[in-house]
Amino acid sequence: MNKERIAFFRKEVARGRGVNNYVVVFPQKLFCAIPAPCFNELKDLHTGGAIAFIDYPFAHCPRFTPNIKKYLYWLFNKSAWRNAFLSKDIARKGIVYNTSYPAQFVIQAAILTRYPSEWEDIIYFWNKLQEYVDEHLALLVAHLLEKEENNCFIFIDNRNSNHYGLNPGLIGVEEIKKMINNEPHIRGFKPFSTNTNYKDLNTIWNTKNIFRSPPRFPLADNKHTKIIYGREIKKACFSLKKRNLQKTVAAFLSLNSIEEMGK
């Protein structure tokens, strides 16, 4: 790895204006995105032998709160994506990725590092839920929750974004089990070093790329009226108070027959 190229990249991304600042290093050149709205350009980038992929996702990150630190420590060291990361000093020098893995695995890991900058609400709910369920399940469910007034939250089963690392519509119980067992489906995929196209991002877990039924949430006495796609819909509203949340999570696990994923 050319140290001069890496030093140039780190200097440039430190001045980046967005949350997305990254570079692909080749033997003779650099491909820099400083800043870019997402990783979409990588889908059309024919690497022909990339040496390294480095990302600096914390340019606009809020201060590293305990919640963010806990999430990132889990992601880098204990999650199903831990093998995608090669860096040690990620906050100051950026993240160096293991390009021997497929682009789907590497970019999914990269997008998940952006959550502290882009999806603080997911980090918030992940920290609440991981006290009671496996962290991977907590991450999935956190995509489907929305905080409301009076310390409550609602469940939205059709929530999704192109900037999500996980598509809640494609990730179900079977996929979560693969994450827990660290069993990404990477056979047959080309490594990132030769193919940066991360099309069908979730196929490393959902090999058939078919939609899953959303998890079922328990009933609640309180209802909150929400405008979704121009329609007024009453959604069950659940308390975030510790004792109430613990009961809601227990009911959720039972309703979906996944008690073994609880803590």
Nearest to 244 by CA among 213, 220, 210, 215: 220
Q: How confident is the model at residue 112 (pLDDT cuts 50, 70, 90)?
A: very high
The confidence score (pLDDT) of residue 71 equals 96
- Give the start-to-end residue ranges of the domains of the chain: 1-68+81-118+188-204
Q: Is the pLDDT of residue 173 over 60?
A: yes
Q: What is the mean pLDDT of residues 89-102?
A: 82
pTM: 0.89
Q: What is the mean pLDDT of residues 42-64?
A: 78
Q: What is the mean pLDDT of residues 31-39?
A: 79
| Percent of the chain whose pLDDT exceeds 90 | 50
Fill in the amino acid letter for 239.
S
CB 195 within 8 A of CB 104: no
Least confident range of 14-18, 71-75, 228-232 = 14-18
Give the count of alpha carbons within 13 A of 42, CB side only: 33
Residue 173 backbone class (left: φ over 0; alpha: ψ -120 to 50; beta: rest):
alpha
Q: Which helix (H) or strand (E) holds 116?
A: helix 115-118
Cα end-to-end span (Å), the chain: 43
- Among 126-130, 163-167, 211-215, 241-245, top mean pLDDT goes to 126-130
| Percent of the chain whose pLDDT exceeds 70 | 85
